[in-house]
């Protein structure tokens, strides 16, 4: 498929990237996908393979953008938030920024005591290449590509990474992530870091929304947000969201990094590593009756309730505050490279990592 021109505009940026003294001159654009009916669309940028907007109707046909984000590309490039980005090479945390692989200790480029989301220049801070772009039709899609080089942020081996966003009927958004290790074994754990508010990105907090997470177990963490290695039952704890539960009834009963709210990985029920999609979570907004179901093929999902979001200027003049969204990041377990009892994230040369998720909207 030939590459089409970006919609609606491409911005030429000269960015000094962390790969030497030379600046790389590449095109960063915004690309729109839209269904035939015209009431379901997304925007994507190849900066960080970022999902910039998702517009869907509610029960009365009113359209709203249900992901938090910025108005301009420059804000995504300069911003501190990971709104809608693809994070990797390894999402979530790696304790002490190191792990042992095939008898060799790998030291990563860390900030503080751990590495978060692949390091300070992870996949969310690089320019991806647009490989295919079909903006409309029955199943519009865009495929993005990034070559991660041997030693990038300390990770071993070259890695070819592809992400495809696609719309399908009736109101489904899928994201497919593939990564092939080319010459060395390496951990891979990609995630999409969209901030969801199914009431609309500027509608306020999500405490009145109802959430369900289909997980009977979770991975407790220490004060540094590193998993202890235990996979514990949620039964009898505030983390039990197996039945639909108003977020506001639980959000102040749990905490992450000293802040009230959810920031925890769940072990998804029914995961067997067979690549099959399973229902992971659901969120419903009682005001609009707009709902989201998440289906995926990964062993874990990180629930984060935007605990640290505060006074951030977003799209259309909106100001995002604490609990302004939920992140539902399907993933491998955090710090799996340091916990042999967790599902392995090691991909060896010639092997392909696969991650498929589907966001199903209804109203």
pLDDT tens digits for 248-262?
999 999 998 889 999
**Which one has a higher pLDDT value, 8 or 140?**
140
The burial class, CB within 10 Å (0-12 / 13-18 / 19+), for 95 is buried
Mean predicted confidence (pLDDT) in 305-315: 96
Kindly name the residue from 117, 193, 355, 356 that is annotated as catalytic.
193
Is 124 annotated for ligand binding? no
Q: What pTM did the predictor assign?
A: 0.93
Find the angle CA(32)-CA(39)-CA(357) to the nearest 5 degrees.
65
Do residues 9 and 45 touch, judged by C-beta distance below 8 A?
A: no
With beta carbons less than 8 A apart as the criterion, state whether 91 and 118 touch: yes
Confidence of residue 346 (pLDDT cuts 50, 70, 90): very high
CATH architecture entry for 30-362 = Distorted Sandwich (2.70)
* 189 has binding-site annotation: no
Interval 259-266 mean pLDDT = 97
| The dihedral formed by the CA atoms of 306, 310, 314 and 319, expressed in degrees to the nearest 10 | 120
Q: Residue 3 belongs to what H/E stretch?
A: none
- Radius of gyration, CA atoms only, the chain: 19
The predicted pLDDT at position 5 comes to 38
Does the annotation count 230 as an active-site position?
Answer: no
| Eight-state DSSP code of residue 336 | G
Distance CA 358, CA 30 (A): 22
* pLDDT at residue 257, as a whole number: 83
Which ranges in the chain belong to alpha helices (H)? 73-78
Q: What is the pLDDT of residue 141?
A: 98
User: Which of 200, 199, 213 has the alpha carbon at shortest distance from 302?
Assistant: 213
> How much is the average pLDDT of 279-294?
97
172 is catalytic: no
Q: Confirm whether residue 93 is marked as ligand binding.
A: yes
In the numeric block, the tokens 């039945």 are attached to 243
φ, ψ at 250 (rounded to 5°): -125, -20
**Predicted local distance difference test score (pLDDT) of residue 262:** 98
For 336, how many CA atoms within 13 A lie in the half-sphere containing its CB?
Answer: 22
Q: For residues 220 and 237, what is the distance between their CA atoms, to the nearest angstrom?
A: 12
Check whether 193 is labelled as a binding-site residue: yes
| Peptide bond before residue 89 is cis, with ω within 30 degrees of 0 | yes
Q: Is 274 annotated as a binding residue?
A: no
Pair 283, 211: CB distance under 8 Å = yes
Going by pLDDT thresholds of 50, 70 and 90, the confidence category of residue 111 is: confident
Q: Are 357 and 301 in contact (CB under 8 A)?
A: no
The average pLDDT across 88-111 equals: 96
Question: Which residue is catalytic, options 117, 329, 339, 355?
Answer: 329
278 is in an annotated binding site: no
């Amino acid at each position: 498929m030939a590459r089409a021109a970006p919609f609606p505009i491409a911005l030429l940026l000269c960015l000094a990237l962390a790969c030497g003294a030379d600046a790389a001159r590449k095109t960063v654009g915004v690309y729109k996908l839209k269904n035939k009916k015209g009431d379901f669309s997304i925007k994507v940028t190849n900066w960080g393979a970022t999902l910039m907007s998702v517009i869907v109707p509610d029960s009365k046909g009113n359209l709203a953008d249900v992901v938090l984000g910025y108005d301009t590309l420059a804000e995504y490039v300069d911003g501190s938030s990971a709104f809608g980005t693809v994070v990797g090479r390894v999402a979530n945390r790696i304790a002490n920024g190191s792990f042992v692989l095939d008898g060799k200790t790998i030291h990563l480029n860390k900030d503080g005591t751990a590495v978060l989301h692949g390091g300070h220049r992870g996949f969310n801070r690089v320019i991806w290449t647009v490989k295919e772009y079909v903006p409309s039709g029955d199943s519009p899609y865009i495929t993005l590509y990034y070559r991660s080089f041997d030693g990038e942020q300390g990770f071993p081996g070259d890695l070819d990474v592809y992400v495809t966003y696609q719309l399908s009927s009736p109101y489904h958004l899928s994201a497919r992530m593939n990564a092939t290790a080319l010459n060395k074994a390496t951990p891979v754990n990609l995630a999409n870091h969209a901030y969801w508010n199914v009431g609309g990105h500027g509608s306020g907090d999500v405490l009145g929304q109802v959430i369900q997470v289909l997980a009977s177990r979770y991975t407790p963490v220490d004060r540094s947000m590193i998993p202890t290695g235990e996979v514990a039952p949620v039964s009898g704890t505030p983390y039990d969201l197996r039945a639909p539960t108003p977020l506001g009834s639980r959000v102040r009963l749990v905490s992450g990094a000293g802040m009230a709210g959810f920031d925890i990985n769940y072990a998804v029920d029914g995961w067997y590593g067979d690549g099959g999609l399973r229902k992971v979570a659901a969120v419903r907004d009682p005001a609009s009756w707009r709902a989201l179901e998440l289906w995926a093929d990964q062993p874990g999902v990180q629930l984060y309730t935007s605990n640290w979001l505060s006074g951030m200027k977003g799209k259309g003049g909106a100001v995002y505050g604490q609990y302004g969204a939920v992140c539902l990041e399907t993933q491998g377990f955090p710090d799996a490279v340091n916990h042999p009892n967790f599902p392995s994230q090691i991909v060896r040369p010639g092997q392909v990592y696969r991650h498929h998720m589907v966001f199903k909207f209804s109203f």
